[in-house]
Structure 1
């Protein structure tokens, strides 16, 4: 898909904010949206404070927005990661929390209803490859959705079908500058190694890989949606907390699916593959009333209490540790 075609097909609820980092992708998205919906688009910039260049990024964004006549809102956050935490995950959570804060407004303007994100076809391919490298299930292979609801907002990714090179060509043709974030070249991050090494090799071997990867991600998203529906139906049958006898009457695959659904939706817990396999083995062994079940699952434990399966966290996180 061409960049102009993607923008023409983009129909968000207005007013719209664009998450604007100053990079090529968000720059192109901001310029195109501001031209299409004058006076109804603003820019949200999250200052992560993770590198010395961050102040320069903010100044660049302010200059561009002034030239465009677009309001710029800035949120400064401390996105440093805790020991053992992924730096990328920490930065992503801080970014989404900041965007939600900015969207709530200051009481002097209409509240933003939609936020545009600049991820493109290369980003989607990288996400699929990351998921494959981690042995992810359908939820991971579905990669990034084009539209998602979070914190009461609609997040849109209208450029998922547009290659990164096309976006940069669009900007270059208009002589528009953008920022190249130096952290994107840091080979310590897996995503950057995929971008620098794997994507060029795929381009040479399979020039259409962006299109086919995106198609596979959409298929995975549809299949994951069906599993979620099945999990909801099975959970309604076995109850909350799950009745072990009712759970045992399901096939092992459906047991795994409904347990994942129950743990995530009810307790915000995602078991590892090994933990879930052990839990399924123990459920299968629950043929007598006295069989004890107590297994580490995520940050807590699953255990048998009478006829039911329960999950609990003996040490829930405090506000200071979140």
Structure 2
């Protein structure tokens, strides 16, 4: 399982070790972004050694590129490192320690950005990617309960786990939500974690149905296995605009995922998708050109199909 040395992942590591003694391995990603990083690794090692839990540490360069979110860069580097470390260790199931508060923060961030159903569905409890099965078993557990659980076992901050100092940096929106908004929600809507989780589950269910429809429409419009081979334009135009949008989102997500095995963040924006739909609607003749920047690449007309290229023009 992934362990950062913080309270949440330490609690999950100990719980997994109790549930599956002798079967658990710890994966630690050393980001090197702050002076405390060596202390995080030392804390994980101090937790693992008495329990004879094998520890695999992976060092990464998580610095962000110009124009890239530091959080997105760190997350992408972390998942890439965890995937590589798990495969090298012969692991096929990876547990992550995100909990109920993290899920609420993710949903609120999605709402603040005007996200659609994939964003409102927030974090899945289980999924498969990169040849691994990923699990988030703590999504129903508030973060405070994890600390109570640790303290009941005689563990305290600074000895049993370390607090990441960046979590208190309110320059990051997620930290402001945690510090300012969640305490208010606790007062106004004491059951908000459970009710927000239900809303996220409803969004996830609706998105699964849309995905099923998109798979059917992809087959009917000839979307190919190659990420650059999109739908045939004539069949695409025969669908309603809403179904066109759903299919195009699905196709672009698949194309991006195949071009970037670690997920990426190159999905079409709402404005880009609307412009692409307008171009498709106007494409009434064989010679009509379609060309539009979408995410990290471009969508272009290639004969009678749409194609996506993973490079800027």
TM-score above 0.5: yes
Q: For 2:190, what is the secondary structure of its paired residue?
A: coil
- Report the Cα distance in structure 1 between the residues aligned to 2:291 and 2:47, rounded to whole angstroms: 58
Q: 1:26: which partner in 2?
A: 9
Equivalent of 2:116 in 114, 117, 137: 137
Q: Displacement of 1:181 after TM fit?
A: 0.5
- Report the Cα distance in structure 2 between the residues aligned to 1:140 and 1:151, rounded to whole angstroms: 21
Change (3 A) 1:25 1:313: closer
- Report the Cα distance in structure 1 between the residues aligned to 2:286 and 2:92, rounded to whole angstroms: 53
Q: For 1:45, what is the secondary structure of its paired residue?
A: strand
Q: For 1:57, what is the secondary structure of its paired residue?
A: helix
- Report the Cα distance in structure 1 between the residues aligned to 2:97 and 2:142, rounded to whole angstroms: 11
Q: 2:249: which partner in 1?
A: 260
Q: 1:7: which partner in 2?
A: none
Instruction: Please say if 1:276 is aligned against 2:273.
Output: yes
Q: For 2:25, what is the secondary structure of its paired residue?
A: strand
- Report the Cα distance in structure 2 between the residues aligned to 1:49 and 1:312, rounded to whole angstroms: 33
- Report the Cα distance in structure 1 between the residues aligned to 2:285 and 2:216, rounded to whole angstroms: 27
Change (3 A) 1:227 1:170: same
Change (3 A) 1:313 1:144: closer
Q: 1:250: which partner in 2?
A: 239
Q: For 1:41, what is the secondary structure of its paired residue?
A: coil
Where does the alignment leave 5 or more consecutive residues of structure 2 unmatched? 224-229, 258-265
Instruction: After superposition, give the CA deviation of every residue in 1:118-175 in whole Å (9 maximum; x if it has no partner).
Output: 1100000000001111111111111111111121111111110001111111111111
Instruction: After superposition, give the CA deviation of every residue in 1:241-290 in whole Å (9 maximum; x if it has no partner).
Output: 32222111111100001111122213545211011111111211222334
Change (3 A) 1:286 1:126: same
Given that residues 2 and 28 in structure 2 are in contact (C-alpha distance below 8 angstroms), is that contact kept between their aligned partners in structure 1?
A: yes
Q: 1:233: which partner in 2?
A: 216
- Report the Cα distance in structure 1 between the residues aligned to 2:30 and 2:311, rounded to whole angstroms: 36
Q: 1:180: which partner in 2?
A: 163
- Report the Cα distance in structure 2 between the residues aligned to 1:314 and 1:173, rounded to whole angstroms: 53
Moved beyond 6 Å, runs of 4+: none
Change (3 A) 1:304 1:198: same
Equivalent of 1:51 in 34, 43, 66: 34
Given that residues 293 and 312 in structure 2 are in contact (C-alpha distance below 8 angstroms), is that contact kept between their aligned partners in structure 1?
A: no
Taking the TM superposition and a 5 Å limit, the aligned residue runs for 1:1-322 are: 18-105=1-88, 111-176=90-155, 177-240=160-223, 241-268=230-257, 269-313=266-310, 315=312
Q: What is the count of residue pairs matched by the alignment?
A: 295
Where does the alignment leave 5 or more consecutive residues of structure 1 unmatched? 1-17, 317-322
Given that residues 31 and 74 in structure 2 are in contact (C-alpha distance below 8 angstroms), is that contact kept between their aligned partners in structure 1?
A: yes
- Report the Cα distance in structure 1 between the residues aligned to 2:269 and 2:142, rounded to whole angstroms: 34
Q: For 2:103, what is the secondary structure of its paired residue?
A: helix
* TM-score normalised to structure 2 length: 0.90
- Report the Cα distance in structure 2 between the residues aligned to 1:216 and 1:126, rounded to whole angstroms: 13
Q: 2:261: which partner in 1?
A: none
Change (3 A) 1:305 1:35: closer
- Report the Cα distance in structure 1 between the residues aligned to 2:95 and 2:303, rounded to whole angstroms: 49
- After superposition, the CA RMSD in angstroms is 1.6
- Report the Cα distance in structure 2 between the residues aligned to 1:77 and 1:298, rounded to whole angstroms: 25
